[in-house]
Amino acid sequence: MKVFLFYQNKGGIAVERRIVVKIGSSSLTSPVGGLDREAVHYFAAELSNLRTAGYEVLLVTSGAVAAGFREIGYAERPKLLHEKQAAAAVGQALLMQAYREAFAGFGIAAAQVLLTRADFHSRKRMGNASMAVEELLKQGAVPIINENDTVSIDELKFGDNDTLSALVANLIKADRLLILTDTPGLYTKDPRYHADAVHIASVEEITEQIYALAGGAGTAVGTGGMRSKLDAAKIAVRGGISVFVGKAQKTGELLAAASGSGRGTYFNTRLSALPRKKQWLGFLSTPLGSLTVDPGAEEALLHGGKSLLPVGVRSAQGQFRSGDVVEVLNRGGELLGRGIINYDHEQLSEIYGLPSTEAARKIGIPHRLEVIHRDEWISLKS
């Protein structure tokens, strides 16, 4: 259930809007590492202003490793996993202390929530995290969410928390995700090196052409680039959440970003919020195989609201079992979505491509012939 805090805006009208703000390492630390206390205070003030304007606010923050590596004695950001974990153990305490002191000046309690990808893999743990965050919001605190870098392993990390922010936004059914970075959103070229770069104010669909515009690595103290922000935006908009990617460095700019007039790029969506099961299926489950389908099945899955039947399957890859998650591809190899399959690989190999009556007769299953039922399916195609 979605819980709202009610505030009075300047016009005296109660509003109910939920915002997730993601702040990266480069916005919180100096170029050589270490916390920038003035930057932390600035963002605390901006988030306080959002609350005053009637927004319910959650913060997803990076910066633990960047804040801690010099404090622990490293000359530069460490590269080995155990070194990054040690730096994060020191830096997370420093980061939360800075946030706590900054928010206290506005009469706001700062609450630490550390998550790993494993927390999202488990639907029960997702539910527990959601309830804890809802209670913090109900009590008027600002949940400050970060990846638990001290125990995370590289293979399962979220990146520079861009993906984490999108998953959190979906989890708590936010209205908008604001991903703050050191550039004003997306350009046709990298504006740092090309004077003729053109700013893109809004994006209706995240296509391969949009991805082609994204740059590579981030700054020396961060790990994210524009591509990871596009990945996060794609997850969020699939869950019915609009996304802003851009800058907020001056007083009032975060409020402008939330209200639709920020210095950045807006990714729009007309989709509805995803149920928790669909979130897990689409973004957190581990596919154990793949199916290739014909154009008729592609149309039925993407636009017809139909289940996938044996006749529409053209090939199957992987040693999956009934109840496993599989990816579904079209004939061109393009990912269409994911679903929970009703057949073992051996069973499906006997019947794919066959009409339902013939498939049922061949394997002796008179009911639930769907390869993937529409209730166990999520489309991931833009």
**Structure tokens that stand for 232 in this block:** 């996060």
Q: What's the rounded Cα separation, in Å, for the pair 378 and 302?
A: 9
Which carries the bigger pLDDT value, residue 344 or residue 363?
A: 344
For position 159, what pLDDT does the model report? Answer: 65
Percentages of the chain per state (helix, strand, coil), in multiples of 5: 40, 20, 40
Q: What's the rounded Cα separation, in Å, for the pair 191 and 246?
A: 13
Cα–Cα–Cα angle for 268, 180, 148, rounded to 5 degrees = 110
Map tokens 């969020």 to a residue: 236
Q: What is the mean pLDDT of residues 57-83?
A: 91
pLDDT interval class at 122 (50, 70, 90): confident
Q: What's the rounded Cα separation, in Å, for the pair 113 and 132?
A: 9
**Residues 188-234 pLDDT 10s:** 988 888 889 999 999 999 988 898 888 644 444 333 488 889 999 99
**Runs of H (alpha helix) within the chain:** 25-28, 37-52, 64-72, 81-104, 117-121, 123-138, 162-171, 208-212, 226-238, 253-259, 276-279, 295-302, 345-351, 356-363
Residue partners of 342: CB distance under 8 A and separation at least 6: 322, 323, 368, 370, 371, 372, 373
**Residues 92-110 pLDDT 10s:** 999 999 999 999 999 999 9
For position 148, what pLDDT does the model report? Answer: 85
For position 258, what pLDDT does the model report? Answer: 96
Q: What is the mean pLDDT of residues 174-188?
A: 92
Write down the number of H helices and E strands in the chain: 14, 17
285-379: CATH topology is 2.30.130
pLDDT interval class at 153 (50, 70, 90): low
**Structure tokens that stand for 143 in this block:** 């949940």
pLDDT interval class at 360 (50, 70, 90): confident
Q: What's the rounded Cα separation, in Å, for the pair 308 and 346?
A: 17
Q: What is the mean pLDDT of residues 307-318?
A: 96
Q: What's the rounded Cα separation, in Å, for the pair 31 and 86?
A: 20
Q: What's the rounded Cα separation, in Å, for the pair 102 and 270?
A: 37
User: Boundaries of CATH 3.40.1160.10 in the chain?
Assistant: 13-276
Which carries the bigger pLDDT value, residue 198 or residue 362?
A: 198
Architecture of 13-276 per CATH? 3-Layer(aba) Sandwich (3.40)
* pLDDT for 125 beyond 60: yes
For position 36, what pLDDT does the model report? Answer: 92
For position 9, what pLDDT does the model report? Answer: 39
**Structure tokens that stand for 98 in this block:** 């800075």
The whole-model pTM stands at 0.83
